[in-house]
Amino acid sequence: MFIGHYSAAFAARAAKPSIPLWQLFVAVQLVDFAWAGLVLAGVEKLRITKGFMEASILDLHHMPYTHSLVAVIVWAIAAGALYGVLRKGGGKVAAGLIIGGAVFSHWLLDLIVHGPDLALYFGGPKVGLGLWNSMLWTQVVEIGGLLIGAAIYIAHTKPKGRWGVIAPIALIAFMLMLQIYNHLPLDHPPAVPFFAIQALFGYTLLAVLAWLVDRTRQPA
Ligand SMILES: [Zn+2]
């Protein structure tokens, strides 16, 4: 899953307005940041196979450190605890729980779309509900989820300054474009390292854009 993960970030921002949106954007993709890094390091492995699933060219056959259930629980607890400790001011526990929950949401949403490539534990059985077998339902769930999350964010914030109305709409439009680009049929799919670098660049760019958009909004 790609842009659908950000539905959780937008919704979490509404639940805890004192956590900046960009930090939630990083949290919901934290294990994919790690995944792309470990793919580049040769530790986690995938094959890029045209037509692997209707909505995915990724044969994700080895990613125990970032996408097994046990690993994601560890990532979520570690990220939430670290965030709570480093946070200045009050609400440390609540903020840590929300960041941990945002990190863990990644696995739950991946579970919906992935084929059976998400191990429960290292070497354990692999699960995945396989929504990627349907391009139509993949788009309905990812785009629908993003729009619902963004609507919650917009409803819980109000514009600050003259960019406050257009900025979130522009971000959502850009994310929809990325989603379409990500599913364009390619004659020559990218090589694995290029794909991982592109993923890191995309996640980072979206976090920066979320930071910019958040500056144009204030709690409603
Ligand atoms: Zn993932």
Angle, helices 92-113/30-40, rounded to nearest 10 degrees: 60
Look at residue 188 in the predicted model and tell me its pLDDT. 84
pLDDT for 201 beyond 90: yes
Number of domains in the chain: 1
Report the separation in Å between the CA atom of 61 and the middle of ligand 1, taken as the mean of its atom positions. 13
Look at residue 1 in the predicted model and tell me its pLDDT. 87
Report the separation in Å between the CA atom of 161 and the middle of ligand 1, taken as the mean of its atom positions. 35
| pTM metric for this prediction | 0.95
Report the separation in Å between the CA atom of 33 and the middle of ligand 1, taken as the mean of its atom positions. 9
Rounded Cα–Cα distance for residues 107 and 73 (Å): 9
Report the separation in Å between the CA atom of 31 and the middle of ligand 1, taken as the mean of its atom positions. 6
Rounded Cα–Cα distance for residues 67 and 90 (Å): 32
Rounded Cα–Cα distance for residues 24 and 14 (Å): 11
Look at residue 15 in the predicted model and tell me its pLDDT. 86
Look at residue 185 in the predicted model and tell me its pLDDT. 84
Residue 201, domain extent: 3-219
Look at residue 115 in the predicted model and tell me its pLDDT. 96
- Cβ partners under 8 Å of residue 17, min gap 6: 156, 157, 219
Look at residue 12 in the predicted model and tell me its pLDDT. 95
What mean pLDDT comes out for the span 96-110? 98
Look at residue 190 in the predicted model and tell me its pLDDT. 86
Look at residue 16 in the predicted model and tell me its pLDDT. 83
What mean pLDDT comes out for the span 139-155? 97
Instruction: Output the average pLDDT for the chain.
Output: 95
Report the separation in Å between the CA atom of 215 and the middle of ligand 1, taken as the mean of its atom positions. 28
> Would residue 65 be called left, alpha or beta, if left means φ above 0 and alpha means ψ between -120 and 50 degrees?
alpha
Look at residue 117 in the predicted model and tell me its pLDDT. 96
Report the separation in Å between the CA atom of 170 and the middle of ligand 1, taken as the mean of its atom positions. 25
Write out pLDDT tens, residues 9-57: 999 998 888 999 999 999 999 999 999 999 999 999 999 998 899 999 9
